[in-house]
Amino acid sequence: MVTATRQVPVTSEGQFYAVHIVESVTQIRGLINTEKTFLNACESTLRPEFFLASASNNDWLPRVAVVTHGGVLRGILYAKEKRVGIVPTGLLYVDTTLCNMPIVDENEREAVFRAALETLLKRRGVLGLRLLLPPGGAEMAGTQGIPSAIPVDLCYAPAQNHSQLMLPNHYETFLESLGHQTRRNFRYYRRRSEAANVKFIDKLSIDEFASAASTLQNETLIKSGSKAIKRAIEMISATERPLLVGLRHRDGEWLSILGGWYESESAVIFLQMNSDKRHRNASLSIVLRGYLLEWFILRGVKKVVFWAGSGGQLSRYAEYIPSIAVHLDKQSFLWKAVRHIVAPLISLLPGPVANLAQWIVPRTHQQNFDPDAGS
C-alpha cells in the first residue's frame, strides 16, 4: 500500500484538512467498509467499487484523495493517473461533470476539492492534473486559488464530453420534436423490425449481456476491444440499478444490446453494440434507442445522459453538458520545455497521436476530452 498524508489549510483562522492519498486497490476497496454509512448514502457511481471498475484497464493507476477534518471524513476525490504501457506519466485525470465526488457537506465542496488537488500536485512524480469540471461551480473556484499556494501553470479550455437529452412526458411528443427525416427513420425502421419478429428485451442479466457482447464484438462497425467491453461490464455491474436491454430475433439471435445504469430520475447510456455487418440496412441503433426512450418515458425518466457523447442521429438533439477542461502543470524546467516543444506541433499530429498529445498541451477547444470516449 502507498499512502501519503498532508495537512492543508482550510481557512485563514488556521483550521486544517488532513488529506490521505490512497493508491492501493485493496485500501481503496477498504473505504467501502471504513466509510460505510457515508458511502451508502451516495449514488452507486460515487462509490469506490465503481471508480475501481472505471480504472480497471491498463491505461490507469488509481489515486484517491480522502479528506478529513478533526478525524472526521469530509469528502473523497477520485483521480487516476494516465500511463503508457507500464510507465506512469505523472498526469492525473479527474472528471466531476457528473458529480462524482462524494462530499459530506456541499458547503465544503470548494475547500475539500482544493485541498485534495494541492495534495495530489505536491506528490513526487506528479507533473500535472487534467480536470474536467462544470463551469462556474465550486470545483472551478477551488482550482483558481491553487496558483497562490503552489507554483503551477493554470489553463482553461471549453470541452465537449458527456451529453444529455431531456425527455417529455409522452413518446409521440418526443418524436414530434425531431426533424422530419429522423422522425421518419424512428418510425419506419421500428415497423420493419416488428414485421421481422424482432423483440425488445427490457431486462437482461449481466451474464446474458456479457455473452451477447462477446458475440456482437466482431459484428459491430464501431470496434470495441475485449478490454473495453470487460471494463464496461464491470462498471455497470458495480451500480445498484443496472440498465441492460437489447433487441433479439425470434430465433434467439441478439441483434443489438445497450448497457448503462439508472440514477435518480435519469439514465446513463454507456455502451451500445449492434450487429451492423450482418444487418446493414436495419438501423439497429435507431430501433433499440426508440424502444428504450419510449420505455424511459413510460417509467418517468426525465433525462438521458450519454457517456462521452451520443453518436448517430440523436447527436443532433442531445446537448453537451457544459464542461471546462483545466490543465494544472508544475513549473519544473524540464516539464515546461516538453510542453513548449509539443505546443506548436499538436495541430499537425494525426488523430491518435494528437489525442495523446492533448495530455501534455491543451487544445484551444477540446472535443471529446474524456479519455474514456469510445468505451
Give the separation between CA 108 and CA 10, rounded to whole angstroms.
Answer: 10
Q: Quick one: pLDDT at residue 1?
A: 38
Q: List the single range of 13-22, 195-204, 259-268 with lowest mean pLDDT.
A: 13-22
pLDDT beyond 90 at 258: yes
pLDDT at position 82 is: 94
Question: Does pLDDT of 365 surpass 50?
Answer: no
Residue 282 pLDDT > 90 = yes
363 vs 160: which has the higher pLDDT: 160
The model's confidence at residue 374, banded by pLDDT at 50, 70 and 90, is very low
Res 371: pLDDT: 56
Percent pLDDT > 90 in the chain is 75
**C-alpha grid cell for residue 56?**
480497471
* Residue among 142, 2, 130, 108 at smallest CA distance from 63: 2
Residue 39: what pLDDT? Answer: 78
What value does the mean pLDDT of the chain take?
90
* 375 — pLDDT class (breaks 50, 70, 90): very low
Q: Which range, of 23-32, 123-132, 191-200, averages the lowest pLDDT?
A: 23-32
What residue ranges define each of the domains in the chain, with the CATH number in brackets?
Answer: 3-159+322-367 (3.40.630.30), 163-319 (3.40.630.30)
Strand partners, 204: none
Average pLDDT over residues 325-339: 95
What order do you get walking across the sheet with 72-84 strand by strand? 3-9, 16-22, 60-69, 72-84, 87-95, 128-133, 323-330, 152-160, 366-367
Q: Which helix (H) or strand (E) element contains residue 291?
A: helix 284-298
DSSP percent split of the chain into helix, strand, coil, nearest 5: 35, 30, 35
Radius of gyration from C-alpha coordinates of the chain: 22
Mean pLDDT of 115-144: 95
Q: pLDDT above 70 covers what percent of the chain?
A: 91
* The most confident of 12-21, 32-41, 322-331, 356-365, by mean pLDDT: 322-331
Lowest mean pLDDT among 260-274, 299-313, 359-373: 359-373
List the Cα angle 86/89/95 in 5-degree steps.
110
Check residue 216 and report its DSSP letter: H
Q: Beta strands 319-320 and 87-95: pairing type?
A: unpaired
316 pLDDT above the threshold of 50:
yes
Of residues 99 and 233, more confidence is placed in 233
Q: What is residue 368's predicted lDDT score, i.e. its pLDDT?
A: 52
pTM of structure? 0.90
pLDDT range class, residue 10, cuts 50, 70, 90: low
* 127 pLDDT above the threshold of 90: yes
- Residue 320 CA to residue 27 CA, distance in Å, equals 35
